[in-house]
Amino acid sequence: MEALQLFLDNFADWDSFVRIWPLLWQGLQLTVLLSIVTLPVAAAAGLLIAILYSFHNRPLNVALLIWIDLFRSFPVLVLLILIFYGLPFLGLTLPSFAACVLALTLNHSGYYGEIFRAGIEAIPPGQREAARALGLHPLQVIFLVILPQAIARVLAPLASNSLELVKTTSIAALVALPELLRSARVAQEQTYNPTPLTAAAIIFFVLLFPFARWVARLERDMIMRQR
Amino acid sequence: MTPLLDNFFNRQILAQYGPSILGGFRLTVEVALATIAIGVITGLVLAIVRAMRWKPADIVIIVFVDIFRTLPQLVVIVFLYFGLPYADIQLSPFAATTLALGAVLAAFATEIFWAAIQAVPQGQWDAARSLGLGFLEILFLIILPQAIRIAVPLLTNRAIAITKGTALGTAVSLPELLGRAQSSMAIAANPSPLTLAAAFYLLFFVPLVVASRWLEGLGSPKTSSGRH
């Protein structure tokens, strides 16, 4: 019991939590803002890549595959450091928020691009031909016929990737953007107490857990369908 | 063009800091291998334990998986390195990074192996039991070889994605590739070391990413996808 009390005093001290809550709340808002700005931009970029790919122009497709594999291969933190600390040497200084949005978007345009591409390529060509024969415009064919089926097919990786994107926003802490993790580190150093870190971990967990469970179920269903 | 060359491909600076960055690359590879070993082995063991369907163990494993599948990798690394010392546990940057990434990979690997074990049709269990095989024989000789084949494409993708997190070690001053490049860049006031580090990362990960696409194509052409 004594050990538990000691642990709680250290890692979950209510008084320090109350003291640092305003800081964490600011950080949480920034984490949410970064996520809701980056998610749609990165997904749209990936979708654009996949749609361009679906026209099956050979040189263009080679270029698109290089883009996808290049940005999937970069650890996102390396991209972020290149953008935030490297670009200023070329006279282009981005604020940390913009640098994070750019790094996450480039990285995840590769992931989303590959996911949407795989989904679209899995739709039998007959669908496209039939829709064209009915007189639909090529864009109508993509958005009304191909994409709804493609997205249904790759829902699990789409959801999983979106969750990873939100989790990855925490690397913004390393370029001094005061999102949730960074705020917790600052608070921990001010209070000489790890409670802010525990609190940040719990906030991340509570926020992401329902989504993580949903993603796990989608992935499990996908594995089960493979048998 | 000249500012670009001087800044990002400065040969003098590359020659000066090259050896240190190469050392960082070696450490990155070590962290990556340790992470994969910890993650995959732990994941396989936990999935086997789940297959035994012993309630108390199930609950512990589910809690472990949920925690480490949900939390961002960097949060886990930072917690282990900056939080645990308050409980008188001081991990080295290497230990904190590999344990954190290993735990995250273990969580995903447990999920994947367990789903793959369940994906093997029940009839296989029944047939093997009717032949007189025991639980462990069935599991290790009949079920696991099939389950592992189902698990490989998903597991490869996860392992690659999480291995890219080795760069996060720089947050706890692990002198791996990115960390060395950053400190070299600060000393030299020139980003060429960063270019070199980026080239090393691509050298390491591009073949893995390309191979994983190929592997997925082999497994199931209809559902291949570029997940993490």
For A20-52, the pLDDT digits (tens) are 899 999 999 999 999 999 999 999 999 999 999
Tokens of B5: 């060359």
Instruction: Give yes or no for residue A3 having a pLDDT over 80.
Output: no
Give DSSP secondary structure letters for B58-110.
Answer: HHHHHHHHHHHHHS-HHHHHHIIIIIGGGGT----HHHHHHHHHHHHHHHHHH
Shortest alpha-carbon distance between residue B133 and chain A (Å):
23
Domains: count for chain A: 1
Domains: count for chain B: 1
Binning chain A into helix, strand and coil, the percentages to the nearest 5 are 85, 0, 15
Mean pLDDT on A160-186? 94
Angle at A79 between CA A75 and CA A82, to 5 degrees: 135
pLDDT at B218: 63
Inter-chain residue contact A160 with B201, CB threshold 8 Å: no
Mean pLDDT on A3-12? 74
Higher pLDDT, A222 or B102: B102
When pLDDT is cut at 50, 70 and 90, the band that residue A227 belongs to is low
Say yes or no: A173 contacts chain B, CB-CB below 8 A.
Answer: yes
pLDDT at A1: 64
Mean pLDDT on A108-126? 95
B226 domain residue, yes or no: no
B224 domain residue, yes or no: no
Residue-number span of the structural domain to which A105 is assigned = 2-225
Inter-chain residue contact A10 with B79, CB threshold 8 Å: no
pLDDT at B123: 93
* Average pLDDT score, chain A: 92
pLDDT at A25: 94
Say yes or no: A153 contacts chain B, CB-CB below 8 A.
Answer: yes
pLDDT at B1: 57
B194 domain residue, yes or no: yes
Say yes or no: B62 contacts chain A, CB-CB below 8 A.
Answer: no
CATH code of A23's domain: 1.10.3720.10
The ipTM of this complex is 0.90
**Partner residue facing B70 (CB), from A114, A212, A226:** A212
Considering only alpha carbons, which residue of chain A is nearest residue B203?
A: A73
Tokens of A209: 């857990």
pLDDT tens sequence for chain B (228 residues): 577 778 788 888 888 888 999 999 999 999 999 999 999 999 999 999 999 999 999 999 999 999 999 999 999 999 999 999 988 899 999 999 999 999 999 999 999 999 999 999 999 999 999 999 999 999 999 999 999 999 998 899 999 999 999 999 999 999 999 999 999 998 988 999 999 999 999 999 999 999 988 887 765 444 444 444
**Partner residue facing B167 (CB), from A75, A117, A164:** A75
Tokens of A198: 């525990």
Chain B positions touching A81 (Cβ under 8 A) are 178, 181-182, 194
Say yes or no: A175 contacts chain B, CB-CB below 8 A.
Answer: no
CATH code of B140's domain: 1.10.3720.10
pLDDT at A192: 85
Inter-chain residue contact A73 with B205, CB threshold 8 Å: yes
**Which of A65, A36, A79, A45 is closest to A166 using CA atoms?**
A36
Query: Between A and B, how many residue pairs show a Cβ–Cβ distance under 8 A?
Result: 183
Say yes or no: B217 contacts chain A, CB-CB below 8 A.
Answer: no
Residue-number span of the structural domain to which B142 is assigned = 2-219
